[in-house]
Structure 1
Amino acid sequence: MITVHHLNNSRSQRVLWLLEEMGVPYEVKRYQRDAKTMLAPPELKAVHPLGKSPVITDGGETVAESGAIIEYLADKYGQGKLLPPPGDPARRAQTYWLHYAEGSLMPPMLMALIFAKVRSAPMPFFAKPIAHGIADKVMGGFVSPQIKLHLDYLEAELGKAPWFGGASLGASDVQLSFPIEAAAARGGLDDSRPRLVDFLKRIHARPAYQRALEKGGPYELMRG
Structure 2
Amino acid sequence: MTLTLYAHPFSSYSQKVLIALYENGTPFTYRVLGPDDPEAGAEWVGLWPLKRFPVLLDGGETVVESSVIIEHLGLHHPGPVRLLPDDARAALAARMMDRFFDNYVMTPMQAIVFDHLRPADDRDPYSVARAREALDTAYRWLDGAMAGREWAAGDAFGLADCAAAPSLFYADWVHEIDTAFPHARAYRARLLARPSFARAVEEARPYRPLFPPGAPDRD
Q: What interval of TM-score do these two structures reach, taking the shorter chain for normalisation?
A: 0.7 to 0.9
Q: Could you list the runs of 5+ residues in structure 1 that have no partner in the other structure? A: 35-39, 123-127
What amino acid is aligned across from residue 126 of structure 2 in structure 1? K
Secondary structure, aligned partner of 1:174: helix
1:14 aligned to which of 13, 16, 38: 16
Q: State the distance in 2 between where 1:26 and 1:42 align.
A: 19
Over 3 Å counting, the alpha-carbon distance change for 1:106 and 1:30 in structure 2 is same
- 1:37 matched to which residue of 2? none
The answer as to whether partners of 1:2 and 1:27 remain within 8 angstroms in 2 is: yes
Q: Measure, in 2, the Cα distance between the counterparts of 1:217 and 1:62.
A: 28
The separation in 2 between residues aligned to 1:42 and 1:174, in whole angstroms, is 28
**Maintained 8 Å contact 1:203/1:209:** yes
In the alignment, which of 127, 134, 153 is matched to residue 138 of structure 1?
127
Partner of 1:125: none
d(CA) in 1 for partners of 2:202, 2:165? 17
Q: What whole-Å deviation, never above 9, does each CA across 1:31-60 have from its counterpart, x for those lacking one?
A: 1279xxxxx956531221112211111112
Q: What secondary structure is seen at the aligned counterpart in 1 of 2:53?
A: coil
Name the structure 1 match of 2:82: 81
| Residue 189 in structure 1 maps to residue 191 in structure 2 | no
Spell out, residue by residue over 1:65-113, the C-alpha distance to the aligned partner (whole angstroms, 9 max, x if none): 111111211233146722112x532111111122222233322222222
> Residues 212 and 117 from structure 1, CA distance in 2 versus in 1: closer, same or farther, beyond 3 angstroms?
closer
CA contact (8 A) 2:5 2:57 kept: yes
1:57 maps to a residue whose letter is: L
Distance in structure 1 (CA, Å) of the matches to 2:65 and 2:174: 23
Partner of 2:208, secondary structure, is coil
- Percentage of matched positions with identical amino acids: 27
> 2:115 maps to which residue?
115
Partner in structure 2 of residue 97 of structure 1: 97
**Cα deviation code 1:181-206 (max 9, x no counterpart):** 12111123254433222222222222
Measure, in 2, the Cα distance between the counterparts of 1:178 and 1:33: 23
Q: 1:167 aligns with which of 155, 160, 166?
A: 155
Matches of 1:136 and 1:176 in 2, distance apart?
Answer: 26
Q: Offset of 1:150 from its aligned partner? A: 0.7
CA distance in 1, matches of 2:209, 2:92: 29
Find the residue that maps to 1:153 and give its secondary structure. Answer: helix
Instruction: Specify the alignment match of 1:206 in structure 2.
Output: 194
Query: Residues 102-153 of structure 1: CA distance to partner in whole angstroms, max 9, x if unpaired?
Result: 23332222222233444xx34xxxxx5xx56xx333333x222211111111
Residues 9 and 200, structure 2, Cα contact 8 Å, conserved in 1? no
Name stretches of at least 5 consecutive residues in structure 2 with no aligned partner: 213-219
Distance 2:100 2:30 in 1: 27
